[in-house]
């Protein structure tokens, strides 16, 4: 188990067709981690590469804007509030998974969480939940996991008017898509707005960001990230070719926290169990996002 002093010294970091996805996963999987059975998926609106390009664009834009804009102005416009500045409860970790549900991928994550005896929070896209209600039901069946609202179709809230933002939030709640067990919302791409914040709070939601961004989308099939994306993601130089160490060292540096991952990116699926085991070995304990100890980290 790593001591507190050791942790401090160490902290000085879309969907694709099933056949293609699991072939890619096999290339990055640890030898002891077997890939799940192939599962059918619907035709994606975007390929994984296209979705990765969109995320990359938002990451770089966020970085440029934050460097060029005064913090007071950013707060006034509510644009980038998903990176949590409130310290997490010491040595507690909450795992969250965005952009599902996905046949095969969701099942695989649930199997790992069950094997490790921990809970997870799944921020689901409404139109996917509507297409795969059996997966949403499976997430909820154990009583250990939470489903949250990740909008109806995963748009960039900075690029759509307030009326459309409202529709994206409220349509998720309609009977056609399974609503969240807890009123938790995570912005697509982390791009928030004052108007949506007001609506969410009026409807009793807590807005959930993250302390640790795994940047699973930015690491390639070999577990490496290029220099520019490493800066955007806060990946230490020594971890540019080690996705697991990036996640573990960033959790260590924060002394815990809410971890952002995605169901749709192979590195998370391939390395999830290894990350959990490593964190357990370092003395971290896993909690649910809605546990009282994480309440100060939610908005």
The residues annotated with a catalytic role in the active site are 98, 262
Counted residue by residue, the chain has a size of: 299
Give the residue carrying structure tokens 């949403």.
Answer: 136
DSSP state of 256: E
3-class secondary structure, 134: helix
H helix or E strand, kind and range, residue 109: helix 105-116
Cα–Cα nearest to 77, from 89, 67, 65:
65
Q: How far is CA 236 from CA 24, 109, 120, 129, 247, in A?
A: 25, 27, 26, 36, 10
Q: Which two tokens stand for residue 128?
A: 């996917």
With left for phi above 0 and alpha for psi between -120 and 50, is residue 74 left, alpha or beta? alpha
Alpha carbon 126 to chain centroid distance?
16
Burial (CB < 10 A; 0-12, 13-18, 19+), residue 173, is middle
């Amino acid at each position: 188990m790593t001591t507190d002093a050791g942790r401090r010294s160490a902290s000085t970091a879309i969907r694709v067709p099933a056949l293609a996805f699991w072939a890619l996963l096999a290339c990055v999987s640890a030898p002891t981690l077997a890939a799940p059975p192939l599962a059918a998926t619907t035709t994606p609106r975007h390929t994984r590469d296209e979705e990765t390009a969109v995320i990359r664009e938002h990451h770089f834009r966020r970085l440029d804007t934050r460097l060029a804009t005064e913090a007071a102005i950013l707060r006034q416009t509510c644009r980038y509030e998903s990176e949590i500045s409130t310290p997490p409860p010491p040595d507690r970790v909450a795992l969250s998974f965005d952009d599902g549900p996905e046949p095969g991928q969701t099942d695989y994550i649930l199997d790992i969480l069950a094997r490790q005896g921990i809970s997870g929070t799944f921020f689901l896209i409404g139109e996917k939940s509507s297409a795969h209600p059996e997966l949403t039901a499976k997430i909820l069946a154990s009583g250990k996991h939470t489903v949250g609202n990740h909008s109806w179709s995963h748009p960039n809230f900075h690029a759509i008017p307030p009326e459309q933002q409202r529709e994206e939030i409220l349509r998720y709640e309609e009977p056609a898509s399974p609503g969240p067990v807890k009123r938790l919302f995570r912005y697509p791409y982390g791009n928030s707005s004052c108007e949506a914040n007001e609506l969410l709070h009026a409807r009793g939601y807590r807005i959930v960001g993250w302390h640790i961004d795994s940047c699973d989308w930015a690491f390639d099939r070999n577990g490496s990230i290029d220099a520019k994306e490493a800066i955007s993601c806060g990946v230490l130089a020594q971890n540019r070719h080690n996705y697991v160490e990036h996640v573990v060292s960033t959790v260590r540096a924060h002394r815990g926290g809410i971890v952002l991952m995605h169901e749709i990116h192979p590195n998370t699926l391939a390395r999830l169990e290894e990350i959990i085991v490593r964190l357990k070995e370092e003395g971290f304990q896993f909690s649910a996002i809605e546990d009282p100890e994480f309440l100060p980290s939610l908005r």
